[in-house]
Amino acid sequence: MKANGAPIDVIRNWLLGDAITGELSTIVEGLGYRLLKYGVPVHRLTVNFGLINPSLLAAGLIWRPGRPIDFVRYDYANRDSGMYERSPFKLAEKEGRRISIDVAATPDDAFGVIPELKAEGLCHYAVFPLRNSVGTNMYLTIATRDAADFTPAQYDLLDALSPAIVAMLEIKTLRFTLRDVLGAYVGRAAAREIVQGTVHRGQVTAMRAAILVADLRRFTQLSTELPPEATADLINRYYDMVVPAIEAGGGEVLKFIGDAVLAVFPVNGNNDATATLAALDAARAALAANDGPFEVNGRELAITFGIALHIGEAVYGNVGSGNRLDFTVIGRDVNIAARIGTLCSRLGRNFLVSAAVADIARAHGQPMTDAGAHAVRGLDRPLTVFVPGDGPLDPETDDGVSQGLVFVAPE
């Protein structure tokens, strides 16, 4: 089998042509079956590639004939586990060439993958190091159950296909990278819009949503008292309470504004109640996640924060100047949610909602206590707010608990 023969031409043309429009899993499956068709006895094929993702280092797909594709994710949290150190990938990268392994003759502790390969009845395994245009490492592996190793001609075919495989992987993973990086910094929904071409100033869409604003108390004071590393630890702990609760409830975190979090729970159709109740549950979950003081820089600190909730209209999209844009929500109801957030601090409450939210909550059996009407900056009429629950409101007599939410002193 020569590299310039029919198999290389057919597979390479497919990889760079029709395959590009398909999903990566479909491409990997198609590559496996095409190799079998042209006489390469491959019983397991993987592609592995690095990611630019806050929680993942890399990912991979494993194909086996007649079985669904397996997806493998390598968590960033496990970066120091030694997995890469025990991998044949490291050896292939170090030597800059294909590595072939006789599985049966290799001790289980030589590479982390050996026991897995033996359990699948595989006899020979090869790693092809691939390098894309920006110098990032990718890997192709093949394995066979045949007692004989792959032939030199079969290895030549894979070597000759490597540039086309790299090109295909780079095109497909570039979209993953763009989506993941954008999602990390602007949120999943905004990332989808941007990837689809919503990148021009003034491109905005009207939306209705429950709007949540969370604000960390005493952050300015603490940030002047703590070293920068401890300050970062403090605010990340706070975000770890708020953000997972929002995302688990179907909300979308749009922004971190200093020590504040802006999130939306979009309304589908005319069903305000679903979005509002989800936002209420998310707020309660975030507050309940605050499990008490922790030690930072030799000090015991308690994280206290307030959550404000309103439902209304906003526009969602691009604002800014020239080539520097922001993808966000703006509008009167967003401002109202922010003003309720300031009232949380002023009134010494960690959870306040607007009258519109209170009406929906009461209609679904959730008690709400009127916390009065208050003048706030930017609004021409006092803003009426409610405390979820039915406990006393006077801070002088309040026992600090309403619906399980702990009273916190204003900043």
Model pLDDT for residues 99-127, shown as the tens digit of each residue: 999 999 999 999 999 999 999 999 999 99
Do residues 223 and 294 make contact, with C-beta atoms less than 8 angstroms apart? no
Query: Reduced to 3 states, what is the DSSP secondary structure of residue 19?
Result: helix
pLDDT at 388 over 80: yes
Dihedral Cα 106, 110, 112, 113, nearest 10 deg = -20
Distance, CA of 347 to chain centre: 35
Q: Which band of pLDDT confidence, cut at 50, 70 and 90, is reported for residue 217?
A: confident
Burial 78-93 (b: 16+ CB within 10 A, else e): eeeeebbeebbbbebb
Do residues 382 and 373 make contact, with C-beta atoms less than 8 angstroms apart? yes
Q: How far apart are CA 150 and CA 40, in angstroms?
A: 7
**Of the listed ranges 14-18, 141-145, 192-196, 271-275, the one predicted with least confidence:** 192-196
pLDDT at 5 over 60: no
DSSP state letters, 306-351: EEEEEEEEEEEEEEEETTEEEEEEESHHHHHHHHHHHHHHHHT-SE
Q: What's the pLDDT at 86?
A: 85
pLDDT at 369 over 90: yes
Tokens of 372: 């009065």
Tokens of 177: 């990278």
First to last CA, the chain: 76
Query: Reduced to 3 states, what is the DSSP secondary structure of residue 33?
Result: helix
Tell me the Cα Rg of the chain.
28
Q: Which band of pLDDT confidence, cut at 50, 70 and 90, is reported for residue 408?
A: very low
Please give the domain boundaries of the chain with CATH numbers for all domains: 6-186 (3.30.450.40), 198-406 (3.30.70.1230)
pLDDT at 399 over 60: no
- Mean residue pLDDT of the chain comes to 86
DSSP structure class, residue 133: T
pLDDT at 195 over 80: no
Q: Which of 342, 331, 330, 335 is nearest to 214 (CA)?
A: 342
Q: What's the pLDDT at 82?
A: 73
Tokens of 174: 């570039």
pLDDT in tens, 28-73: 999 999 999 999 999 999 999 888 777 888 899 999 999 999 999 8
Q: How far apart are CA 391 and CA 401, in angstroms?
A: 8
Helices 272-288 and 228-248, packing angle to 10 deg: 140
Beta bridge partners, 47, equal 61, 140
pTM tops 0.85, yes or no: no
Burial 205-238 (b: 16+ CB within 10 A, else e): eebbbbbbbbbbbbbeebbeebeeebbebbbebb
Q: Which of 270, 274, 337, 350 is nearest to 310 (CA)?
A: 337
pLDDT at 402 over 60: no
Q: What's the pLDDT at 209?
A: 95
